[in-house]
Structure 1
Amino acid sequence: MKKSTFLLPVLVLAVIGVLSSIFIVDEREKALVLQFGRVVTIKEDPGLAFKIPLIQQVVRYDDRILSREVGPMEITPLDDRRLVVDAFARYRIVDLGRFREAVGAGGIDFAESRLDSILRAKTREVLGSVSSNDILSSDRAALMARIRDGSVEEARDLGLQVIDVRLKRTDLPQANLEATFARMRAEREREAADEIARGKEAAQRIRAQADRTVVELISDAKRQAEIIRGEADAERNAIYAEAYGRDPEFFEFYRSLNAYARALKGENSTMVLSPDSEFFNYLKSSGNSGSPAN
């Protein structure tokens, strides 16, 4: 009875010791076995692994490709046109021993802070060696490759591999952006004013041409009307002459009737004439119809 009472705690302690000495490494991570802060074992393959309980501890790190956002930074290209650039990088821990030696207990946060400094320095160096047009163009893959290649060596000292660097956004600073918008607005307003002035000039030219055409058409119409009127008068006179030649007395009678019609209108019916005036010859009756009185 005493023997089983003694063995049971020992067995429990043994089981606890065995369980605490076993750890599992996931396929998405790497692990370091530390003893008093010193690296004893690096476990990179997934599966079971062992450590000394209480004395050794396991520190795990992500083995996947990680992303790091690089906050906005202001750069000055060759043409002194300041720009604000956002970037991000993709990286991976490839040398776990060197990584632990470089960052210590700071872990991934300290490593990303160091990586930020490297990327910012290389971004300013590369983008400062070209013009702003090269940076703002759609074909800037070569610039991103230069930033990545320049960061690789320094990142390797941290046990990191920089896989890719991308420029997300490239803008003017807010003050410069507002000034640029104001300049663009002024330029568009100037172009609009030029277009309006050219439109008014063209309208005035078209209006003057239309007025000239109207004058020419009216003048030509009047000229043709005068010609037609002259031809009509000539034809009328010819008819009168022919009629007079055929019967002069009838022609005289017709002309007198027209004179009476014009003279004896309602608003002009008062005349002061001698009774024996020739004007009334055809109003007198001598007994011979159609002949003037003697």
Structure 2
Amino acid sequence: MQTRPVTFVLMFVFCVTAQVAAQEPTGAALFEAQCAMCHTPPGVERAPTLEVMGERSPEAIVAALTDGVMALQALSLSNAQRQAVAEFITGRSVSADATVTSAGLCQSTPVLVDPLGGPHWSGWGVGGENLRFQTAESAGLDFNQVPNLTLKWAFGFPQSTSAWAQPAVAGGRLFVGSQNGDIYALDARTGCGHWTYSALTGVRTAISVGPRGDGHALYFGDVGANVYAIDAETGAELWSRNVERHPGARITGAPTLHEGRLYVPVSSLEEALAGNPGYGCCTFRGSVVVLDAATGEQIWKSFTIPEEPSPRGTGPDGTT
């Protein structure tokens, strides 16, 4: 007698689940509604085509839709819908246990000794003045050698279709961020990998190298407006902090280290959000955030637009 209600409930749940699944848009339908305008011909010139995106892993597509370069366009999608879009684009299932390959790792990792003591390039402009200039002594290279330069090695970023970040070179290592959020420490002579650190989302800032205690740290930001400090020798995270909660906020300018403080410029892609008639534009103010380089604690924040946003009217659909 007691088995009938249980059986009925199980059958009822199964039927409801099946009905919901039948009503859920397919990945193809979601792509057509949300993505096709830019990613299929004639599309947008800079937007990769469906075929190009299909070369990426489904996990990388999900990351781009969740907190990466396409997060703004995918705000209305649920996690399941983002996964469905990723699986449609790539033709492969999303794996819960995606791992980074160990191929190309260095056989040994020597101690990182005074990375700023010899030829190096740190940050965007290699100095507080942002001159993007070095003497021959500082660079370990003079203009007479430039015509003789040839390709020594090449590195392909896994699960990526674009490379944005400017590398930093220090202590015989090359530090560079990637579209999918991985930071790589490569041997400058051979290109083999010493370690990899995974940020929350894509990294397109240059990396700044600076002293910290008895060692050195790498400072950078991601397109989710998060700032990081990691150990230059091991890649271990020292601290991370979100500096702006606006949905369009991102960090593309290199953090600058000066006298124990980290100066971080914060920008946005709110103009993309404004393309949605239901979005109440414009609320992003732009800012520079100053953090304690040792702890990541915020010291001060200065907005480009001092005035706080306030309603100025309503659009045709009632959006404030």
Q: Which has the higher helix share?
A: 1
Point out the structure with max Rg over C-alpha: 1
* TM-score normalised to structure 2 length: 0.17
